[in-house]
């Protein structure tokens, strides 16, 4: 069951599955299929979700191997090819944005950098920010949500108000504002490093209430269950109950919300770079490519289409996969 | 109902104060921790130390943070005068700060830009509500049909497409390719038909994105509600299908839709930054983006506050509508 999910939380899933099976009781008597097993079998039958999952895997491999792949095709994302640029219009020579055997997706206007190589390197930024900001959001959301749901009282009120407040904030504007006041050097990082780091933190920070609310709600209903009472009567401490009894049962909703959050985060990163507050040139990012493509949307439309399609495919793949995971883990699903 | 309203209003007021404090912290405390001198960003990168000192004095940047917040609040109601040595700048009554970068008060910038963004957001909202909700309801009623699958594929693509891509694509096809319109923004005051014509493409592009989201949510909510007991009861009573769907099911379906509408509209009114950048519409979003690029902090601060206010008001309106639609909310 953990194989297709690739989530940091996935390791905890088998525990949840066993517990759920034990809780269900009669499941064992019939066939002994765990909840995780059922979910995986449902997911396997969902062709769209599976396709999405495979594309996501491919993208991860591509992003990881970007330097290898680009050197295999003999390209460098930062190398200028002035000879391929029409000096009069500063657009690439030839049709379809300078598409050729050497330059698989053509070259950029003005400086003639290889688009294929830049797209591959852009994938690294997109996925890195998308995943890690989701990790930040999941950690914050899970810990704070579970605390709010379990302890109730003023802890709950405080955390819930903070969540409501964050959700009511004009998020994109705040993210832009925060990213733009950050200095160019901090914690030993410089330039792109700082920007990526800040984006991960800020996007993650604005994302946690979505997970936090769900986790809080689930915790509220789970903490009254008999097995929690049983653990308590056996003398289990609060934190043992929190992390050993409750957390494994929260894994399913957390996985669902994580898979749905990653594409949103990828879009946010692209938007920030598009607006010029994300990663700065020469580091390549899809949003930033689109932003420089604005000036050439009529003379070199390929320059705009390629990064746009890259974003589309990535986000769609994550969405398809996320939808599939949600349906597979949803006990109410009729299929 | 009145008690509910007062409670919501009070919560909104508290929220506004919190937002102002947070905005101040972002712009005045974060740079401090990060070791950046805030005064320099009010003057410019190549500012000489003399000018920086003058700005620091003029804006009271060396005052403690609570004093600065207080001066800002006071400025909103009674106006504010910035003075350093012989150099005096007055900022009239609703003073949301003064941009020393662009030599103008922030409030007129906000009032200039606000109607532009409001027009964009409201026009698109009408489109996406009508088409998104209609598509979602139809999909839910004809679940599994060709229409349902088709609509949901389009909707899933819609939520996966960023506006800065669809917008550019639409411009390339319709403005450049088919020569429909000039692609330039026409102010409502100059020509009503011209304004309408220049807004059609941004409206449709923006509405497409949201319609996709609303269609998905509407479909999911509708399907869940159609499985409820009270729908079965309504049918068992012999009510006609249009009444069951239109009156009973729609009412419950609208509650989550309204919540979303409030949040989305608020966020959009506060600055449809991406749409405005893509289509070069001179609204609040573009103002704030230019301000960010010029590091013009007072304008960023002003727009952020107005945006937060818009989100708050939209949420408040939704809360009130919510209570009208769903009587249980009033008791909660």
Mean pLDDT confidence for A294-304 = 78
Confidence of residue A268 (pLDDT cuts 50, 70, 90): confident
Residue B19 has pLDDT above 50, yes or no: yes
What is the pLDDT, as a whole number, of residue A335? 39
A308 touches chain B (CB under 8 A): yes
Alpha-carbon span B93 to A156, nearest angstrom: 41
State yes or no: ipTM above 0.85.
no
A311/B165 Cβ within 8 A = yes
Mean pLDDT confidence for A20-45 = 63
Encode pLDDT of A219-251 as tens digits. Answer: 888 888 888 888 888 888 888 888 888 888 888
Alpha-carbon span B162 to B277, nearest angstrom: 13
What is the pLDDT, as a whole number, of residue A1? 36
Instruction: Show Cβ contacts of residue B110 under 8 Å, excluding neighbours closer than 6 positions.
Output: B96, B284, B287, B302, B303, B306
Look at the alpha carbons of B225, B8, B215, A206 in this order and tell me if their dihedral is positive or negative.
negative
Encode pLDDT of B80-106 as tens digits. Answer: 777 666 666 677 667 777 776 777 777
- Using CB atoms, which residue from B26, B176, B289 is nearest to A178? B26
Give the nearest chain B residue to A301 (CA atoms).
Answer: B172
Encode pLDDT of B284-308 as tens digits. Answer: 888 888 887 777 777 877 887 787 7
Confidence of residue A18 (pLDDT cuts 50, 70, 90): very low
A71 vs A31, more confident = A71
B contacts of A298 (beta carbons < 8 Å): 172, 176
What is the pLDDT, as a whole number, of residue A17? 46
- Reduced DSSP (H G I as helix, E B as strand, rest coil) percent helix, strand, coil of chain B, to 5: 75, 5, 20
Q: Which range in A263-272, A297-306, B41-50, B174-183 is most confidently predicted, on average pLDDT?
A: A263-272
Give the nearest chain B residue to A295 (CA atoms).
Answer: B168
Residue B134 has pLDDT above 70, yes or no: yes
Query: Which two tokens mark A272?
Result: 């920030």
Distance from CA of A148 to the nearest CA of B (A): 20
B329 touches chain A (CB under 8 A): no
- Residue B91 gets the label, from left (phi > 0), alpha (psi -120 to 50) or beta, of beta
Mean pLDDT confidence for A20-27 = 47
Closest alpha carbon to A196 in A293, A117, A127, A120? A127
Query: Which two tokens mark A28?
Result: 């064992």
CB B215 within 8 A of CB B135: yes
- Using CB atoms, which residue from B19, B162, B312 is nearest to A311? B162
What is the pLDDT, as a whole number, of residue B127? 92
A332 vs B262, more confident = B262
- Using CB atoms, which residue from A293, A304, A319 is nearest to B160? A319
Confidence of residue A11 (pLDDT cuts 50, 70, 90): very low
What is the pLDDT, as a whole number, of residue A192? 73
Tell me which of B149, B166, B168, B288 to substitute to probe the interface with A (most A C-beta atoms closer than 10 Å): B168
Residue A2 has pLDDT above 50, yes or no: no
Residue holding tokens 């600055």? B271
The residues that bridge with A327 in the sheet, in sequence order, are none
Confidence of residue B37 (pLDDT cuts 50, 70, 90): low
Q: What is the mean pLDDT of chain A?
A: 77
A180/B295 Cβ within 8 A = yes
CB B181 within 8 A of CB B174: yes
Distance from CA of A42 to the nearest CA of B (A): 18
Residue A29 has pLDDT above 70, yes or no: no
- Using CB atoms, which residue from A168, A275, A312 is nearest to B315? A168
Encode pLDDT of B238-251 as tens digits. Answer: 888 888 888 888 88
Give the nearest chain A residue to B277 (CA atoms).
Answer: A275
Distance from CA of A182 to the nearest CA of B (A): 7
- Using CB atoms, which residue from A165, A172, A181 is nearest to B15? A165
What is the pLDDT, as a whole number, of residue A135? 93
- pLDDT > 70: percent of chain B: 83
What is the pLDDT, as a whole number, of residue B75? 75
Upstream peptide bond of A282 is cis (omega within 30 degrees of 0) = yes
Distance from CA of B86 to the nearest CA of A (A): 31
B156/A168 Cβ within 8 A = no
- pLDDT > 90: percent of chain B: 1
B164 touches chain A (CB under 8 A): yes
What is the pLDDT, as a whole number, of residue B277? 83
What is the pLDDT, as a whole number, of residue A188? 60
CB B36 within 8 A of CB B297: no
- Using CB atoms, which residue from A176, A183, A294 is nearest to B35? A183
Alpha-carbon span B115 to A271, nearest angstrom: 24
The residues that bridge with B82 in the sheet, in sequence order, are B89
- Using CB atoms, which residue from B168, B176, B312 is nearest to A294? B168
B19/A181 Cβ within 8 A = no
Distance from CA of B98 to the nearest CA of A (A): 18
B303 touches chain A (CB under 8 A): yes
Selected residues 62-121 of chain B with any CB under 8 Å from a CB in chain A: none
Q: Which range in A34-38, A162-166, A286-290 is most confidently predicted, on average pLDDT?
A: A286-290
Alpha-carbon span B32 to A302, nearest angstrom: 44
The residues that bridge with A114 in the sheet, in sequence order, are A107
A167/B176 Cβ within 8 A = no
Confidence of residue A132 (pLDDT cuts 50, 70, 90): very high
A contacts of B303 (beta carbons < 8 Å): 173
Alpha-carbon span B325 to B39, nearest angstrom: 50
Confidence of residue A153 (pLDDT cuts 50, 70, 90): confident
B245 vs A76, more confident = B245
What is the pLDDT, as a whole number, of residue A6? 41
Distance from CA of A126 to the nearest CA of B (A): 14
- Using CB atoms, which residue from B18, B157, B168 is nearest to A293? B168
A176/B273 Cβ within 8 A = yes
Q: What is the mean pLDDT of chain B?
A: 78
CB pairs under 8 A, 24+ apart, for A241-247? A241/A150, A242/A146, A242/A147, A242/A150, A246/A146, A246/A150, A246/A219, A246/A222, A247/A12, A247/A142, A247/A146
Alpha-carbon span B121 to B163, nearest angstrom: 14
A contacts of B312 (beta carbons < 8 Å): 168
Q: Do the strands B87-91 and B80-84 form a parallel or antiparallel pair, or are they unpaired?
A: antiparallel
Alpha-carbon span B177 to B185, nearest angstrom: 18
B171 touches chain A (CB under 8 A): yes
The full DSSP string for B9-32 is HHHHHHHHHHHHHHHHIIIIIHHH
Selected residues 35-64 of chain B with any CB under 8 Å from a CB in chain A: 35-36
B317 touches chain A (CB under 8 A): no
Q: Which range in B179-183, B226-230, B328-332 is most confidently predicted, on average pLDDT?
A: B226-230
Count residue pairs from A and B with Cβ separation < 8 A: 128
Encode pLDDT of A175-203 as tens digits. Answer: 777 777 666 666 666 667 778 888 888 88
Residue A136 has pLDDT above 90, yes or no: yes
A27 vs B89, more confident = B89
Query: Which two tokens mark B59?
Result: 């804006």
Confidence of residue A140 (pLDDT cuts 50, 70, 90): very high
What is the pLDDT, as a whole number, of residue A9? 41
A316/B312 Cβ within 8 A = no
Give the nearest chain B residue to A185 (CA atoms).
Answer: B34
Half-sphere exposure of B306 (CA within 13 A, CB side): 32
Residue A120 has pLDDT above 50, yes or no: yes
B contacts of A173 (beta carbons < 8 Å): 270-271, 273, 288, 303-304, 307
């Amino acid at each position: 069951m953990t194989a297709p999910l690739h989530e940091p939380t996935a390791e905890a899933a088998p525990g949840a599955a066993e517990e759920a099976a034990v809780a269900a009781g009669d499941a064992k008597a019939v066939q002994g299929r765990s909840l995780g097993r059922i979910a995986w079998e449902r997911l396997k039958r969902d062709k769209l979700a599976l396709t999405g999952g495979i594309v996501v895997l491919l993208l991860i491999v591509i992003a990881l191997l970007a330097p290898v792949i680009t050197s295999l095709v003999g390209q460098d994302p930062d190398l200028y090819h002035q000879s391929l640029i029409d000096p009069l219009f500063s657009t690439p020579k030839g049709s379809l944005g300078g598409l050729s055997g050497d330059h698989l997706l053509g070259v950029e206007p003005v400086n003639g950098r290889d688009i294929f190589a830049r797209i591959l390197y852009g994938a690294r930024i997109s996925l890195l920010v998308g995943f890690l900001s989701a990790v930040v959001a999941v950690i914050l959301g899970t810990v704070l949500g579970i605390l709010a749901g379990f302890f109730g009282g003023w802890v709950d009120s405080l955390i819930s108000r903070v969540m409501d407040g964050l959700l009511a904030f004009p998020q994109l504007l705040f993210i832009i504002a925060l990213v733009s006041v950050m200095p160019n050097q901090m914690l030993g990082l410089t330039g792109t490093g700082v920007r990526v780091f800040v984006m991960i933190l800020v996007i993650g920070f604005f994302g946690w209430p979505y997970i936090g609310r769900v986790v809080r709600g689930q915790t509220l209903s789970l903490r009254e269950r008999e097995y929690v009472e049983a653990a308590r009567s056996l003398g289990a401490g609060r934190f043992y109950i929190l992390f050993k009894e409750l957390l494994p049962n929260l894994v399913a909703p957390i996985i669902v919300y994580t898979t749905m959050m990653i594409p949103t985060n990828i879009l946010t990163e692209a938007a920030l770079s598009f607006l010029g507050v994300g990663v700065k040139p020469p580091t390549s990012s899809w949003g930033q490519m689109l932003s420089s493509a604005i000036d050439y949307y009529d003379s070199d439309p390929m320059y705009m289409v390629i990064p746009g399609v890259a974003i589309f495919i990535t986000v769609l793949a994550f969405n398809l996969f996320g939808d599939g995971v949600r349906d597979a883990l949803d006990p109410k699903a009729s299929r | 109902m009145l008690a509910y309203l007062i409670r919501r209003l009070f919560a909104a007021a508290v929220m506004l104060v919190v937002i102002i404090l947070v905005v101040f912290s972002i712009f005045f405390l974060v740079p401090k921790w990060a070791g950046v001198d805030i005064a320099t960003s009010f003057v410019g990168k190549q500012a000489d130390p003399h000018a920086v000192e003058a700005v620091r004095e003029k804006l009271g940047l060396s005052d403690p943070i609570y004093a600065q917040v207080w001066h800002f609040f006071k400025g909103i109601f009674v106006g504010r005068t910035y003075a350093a040595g012989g150099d005096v700048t007055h900022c009239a009554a609703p003073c949301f700060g003064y941009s020393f970068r662009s030599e103008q008060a922030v409030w007129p910038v906000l009032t200039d830009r606000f109607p532009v963004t409001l027009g964009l957001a409201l026009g698109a909202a009408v489109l996406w509500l009508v088409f998104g909700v209609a598509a979602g309801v139809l999909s839910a009623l004809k679940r599994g049909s060709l229409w349902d699958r088709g609509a949901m594929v389009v909707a899933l693509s819609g939520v996966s497409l960023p506006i800065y891509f669809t917008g550019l694509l639409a411009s390339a096809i319709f403005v450049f390719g088919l020569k429909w319109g000039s692609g330039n923004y026409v102010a409502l005051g100059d020509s009503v038909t011209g304004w309408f014509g220049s807004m059609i493409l941004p409206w449709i592009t923006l509405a497409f994105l949201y319609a996709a989201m609303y269609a998905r949510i509407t479909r999911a909510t509708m399907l869940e509600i159609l499985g409820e007991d009270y729908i079965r009861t309504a049918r068992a009573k012999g009510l006609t299908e249009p009444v069951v769907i239109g009156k009973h099911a729609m009412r419950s379906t609208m509650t989550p839709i309204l919540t979303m509408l409030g949040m989305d509209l608020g966020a959009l009114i506060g600055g449809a930054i991406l749409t405005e950048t893509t289509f070069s519409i001179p609204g609040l979003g573009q103002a704030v983006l230019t301000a960010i690029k010029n590091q013009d902090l007072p304008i960023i601060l002003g727009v952020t506050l107005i945006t937060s206010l818009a989100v708050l008001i939209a949420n408040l309106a939704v809360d009130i509508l919510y209570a009208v639609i769903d009587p249980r909310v009033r008791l909660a």
